[in-house]
Amino acid sequence: MLILGIESSCDETAASVVKDCREILSSVISTQIEEHKKYGGVVPEIASRRHCENILGVVRKALDDANVTLADLDGIAVTYAPGLIGALLVGVSFAKALAMSCGKPLIPVHHIAGHIATNYLTFPDLEPPYLCLVASGGHSHIIEVLSYTKFRVVGRTRDDAAGECFDKCARAMGFPYPGGVHVDNAAQSGDPKAFRLPHPAVAGNEFDFSFSGLKTNVINTLHNAEQKGIEIDRNDLSASLQSTISEIKKSHWQAEFPQTAEYVPLFPRPAKSVDLSSICPRRSFAATTAQ
């Protein structure tokens, strides 16, 4: 089975051809980091416009690198949510049109489910059920993977995710965007015990995360030092921040897993493969296009 996957949920246009759900035949990414650096973060309008410009070339190269044609594909998958709405619309609209034009089924993919599925590419023998820690830029989740398509959220962030906390603290410390990697580099030569940072507690669910208070504490530490004319060692603060986030995640991960609990579904409803020919027959579509 050959699947073309298309991703445009944030600031990178990506496409890949995957064989039998485990083997990557091609992976092409067009990044916009340099353009967004001047703003200290992703500007949604700019991201959407760049997706429009890049998506055709990215998909074409993914097919060429995999040495396959559209006729060889068994389906076309695309990220449909969550993400920047304008950016997502570019990928979804392109995938819909491509699937319609070549008569292939369209497979909507939930963004978080996509993160979880990457584990199967790295560990080909992995099979559900298992627990998965999702720690991407805007998402921090502990998810019980019941099967390849069924998930339940055990815990999630109530405010900022770990990645957002890193980026926002990095900007306050004067690091360029994206900030996480710069905090990590600075932390390598810093003292993780130099600053005592809070471990925010979340009432109601010991598995939920909260990073907003940690971010606020780091920013206030910087502002208070600036007002007093004290110079903060960014390496020490970075090391303390990184250590605290690691401790928070570790404490959640090692908590006693509830055998009977009210779980939150990852999806509001199951995503299904869509056969576009049943919605709009190719004959009528071609006739409309010709007119």
pLDDT in tens, the chain (291 residues): 999 999 999 999 999 999 998 899 999 999 998 899 888 888 999 999 999 999 999 999 999 999 999 999 999 999 998 899 999 999 999 999 999 999 999 999 999 999 999 999 989 899 999 999 888 777 888 899 999 888 888 888 888 888 888 889 999 999 988 888 999 999 999 999 999 998 877 777 778 888 889 999 999 999 999 999 999 999 999 999 999 988 887 776 655 555 544 444 555 444 454 444 443 333 333 332 233
Instruction: Decide if 277 is inside a domain.
Output: yes
Q: Token pair for residue 48?
A: 């959407």
Same domain for 167 and 250?
yes
Residue 173 is part of a domain; what is its CATH number?
3.30.420.40
- What is the DSSP secondary structure assignment for residue 194, as one 8-state letter? S
Whole-model pTM above 0.85? no
Strands 106-110 and 130-136: unpaired
Q: Token pair for residue 51?
A: 């997706």
| Domain extent at residue 283 | 2-105+273-290
Q: Token pair for residue 190?
A: 């810093």
Instruction: Decide if 124 is inside a domain.
Output: no
Instruction: Decide if 150 is inside a domain.
Output: yes
Determine the angle formed by the axes of helices 85-102 and 44-66, rounding to 10 degrees: 30
Instruction: Decide if 282 is inside a domain.
Output: yes
